[in-house]
């Protein structure tokens, strides 16, 4: 999408509102839904990747140091990663506004 949805006029919409650009859901910022964000305590992390596997939004990515980190642009703050983490390395903390 070339510009945010909220800026489109009715004349610019494609007929029937078809989405002509495949995969543009990646531009949708679901991260602003959350009230809690996952925070990783690296000392406890065993690099098992369960957070990555269970994340329903595929928000987790492996960083260069070998840790799985949630991309807060997409993370909705559901807390499944924190619940599934076998060592309790992920805690859900309130986002600062």
17 makes contact with other proteins (CB under 8 A): yes
Cα–Cα distance, 93 to 77 (Å, whole number) = 9
In the complex with other proteins, which residue's Cβ is closer, 68 or 74?
Answer: 74
Number of amino acids touching other proteins (CB under 8 A): 15
Q: Which one of residues 10, 56, 96, 97 is an interface residue with other proteins (CB under 8 A)?
A: 10
Q: Where on the chain is the footprint of other proteins (CB under 8 A)?
A: 5-6, 8-11, 13-20, 22
């Amino acid at each position: 999408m070339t510009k945010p949805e909220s800026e489109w006029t009715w004349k610019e919409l494609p007929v029937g509102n078809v989405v002509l650009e495949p995969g543009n859901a990646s531009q949708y910022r679901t991260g602003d839904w959350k009230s809690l964000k996952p925070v990783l305590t690296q000392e406890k992390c065993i690099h098992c990747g369960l957070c990555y596997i269970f994340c329903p939004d595929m928000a987790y990515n492996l960083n260069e140091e070998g840790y799985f980190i949630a991309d807060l642009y997409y993370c909705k703050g559901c807390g499944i990663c924190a619940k599934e983490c076998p060592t309790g390395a992920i805690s859900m903390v309130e986002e600062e506004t």
